[in-house]
A and B are shown apart, each in its own frame.
Chain A
Amino acid sequence: MPIRRKNNLLVEPPSAATGDIAFNLIVFFLVCASVQPDSGRKQNIPSSETVDSKQEQKDENIEVSLSRTTVSINGDPVKQDQFVPRLKAKLAGKPRPEDRVVVVKSKPETPYQFWIAVTTGIEEAGGVVTLQLEEERTVTVPD
């Protein structure tokens, strides 16, 4: 009886689709890489009505005024590197959150980058940021 020889031929995987597979893998990883999670900073700003209703308390609150490049606490201009320590000193001895309200008043031309830096400093010092916006009033002139 003849004995069958074992087939020792090398079997290669088909290489015709390798290019397509590589292309698909590139697209897949590009799409995955472009989906980056956003990062940032949470901020809790009390609504303006709440602030208005406590007019008496508002007068006692610390006021931080911002212009394009300068910052002042209760009207006194402060250097940026001294801002947090000065504010911390003013907030010392005020454990209640309602006493730690810092009213931020910005000039219209204040850039967002500067505003973020200052409000970060306020939160770092333990203050609660509250915005004071200029009201727009419509006046009807009688005929």
Chain B
Amino acid sequence: MKIARKTMKVEVPSMAMGDIAFNLLVFFVILARAQDDSALQWTPAKTERVESAGQSKVSIVLDKDEKLYVNGQPIGQSQLEGMVEKLLEGLPAGQRTVLLKIHNQAQANRFEPILEAVSKSGGELVHILEEQRPAAKP
């Protein structure tokens, strides 16, 4: 007597596909943010009036140890001008914004050459600062 084999239908459960896709999305968003300069340590200088910096392709950080970074990558002062020029290549005026994130205690002999290099490379400087709210009068 021939015994008939039981054929079982095996399907990949598709119930959790949406959850998996969402988790992957969140994972890659976090990964993309880890490549920027948010991990670098610097304290912004304070000023009374600030405006929105807008979008930028170049972000320069001079951290609390006075180390220089362009878009999160460490770089030497001598390479800065060429690097910024390369990143801004082909961009029209108005889109050549360079964000400058300089630690508030950085010294002039360190940050002034950075300003000059950005200016020479045709970048439009935007100092990233923190708004200082006026102290409440008693």
| Interface residues in chain A, defined as those with a beta carbon under 8 Å from any beta carbon in chain B | 17, 20, 24, 27-28, 31, 34-35, 37-48, 66, 106-113, 115-117, 120, 131, 133
Contact = CB atoms under 8 A, between A and B. Distances in A.
B108 A31 contact: no
Interface stretch (B4-12, B45-53, B68-76, B84-92): B45-53
A106 B108 contact: yes
Nearest to A129: B115
Given A20-B19, A113-B105, A47 B120 contact: yes
B42 to A, nearest CB: 10
A17 to B, nearest CB: 8
- Interface size class of chain B, counting residues whose CB lies under 8 Å from the partner chain: 35 or more
Nearest to B130: A39
B105 A40 contact: no
A111 B23 contact: no
A67 to B, nearest CB: 10
Contacts of A34: 33, 38
B115 A116 contact: no
Which secondary structure characterizes the binding site on chain A? mixed
Given A31-B26, A39-B131, A42-B124, A110 B108 contact: yes
A45 B49 CA distance: 19
Nearest to B62: A112
Contacts, number: 115
A120 B47 contact: yes
Given A47-B119, A112-B45, A40 B126 contact: yes
A133 B113 contact: yes
Contact of B129 (A31, A111, A116): A116
23 contacts: A24-B23, A27-B26, A38-B53, A39-B131, A40-B51, A40-B53, A40-B100, A40-B127, A40-B128, A41-B51, A42-B127, A43-B126, A48-B119, A66-B108, A106-B112, A107-B108, A110-B107, A112-B45, A112-B106, A112-B107, A112-B111, A113-B45, A117-B47
Contacts of A39: 50-53, 128-129, 131
B102 interface: yes
Nearest to B48: A120
B125 interface: yes
Given A38-B53, A41-B126, A113 B108 contact: no
Contacts of B102: 112
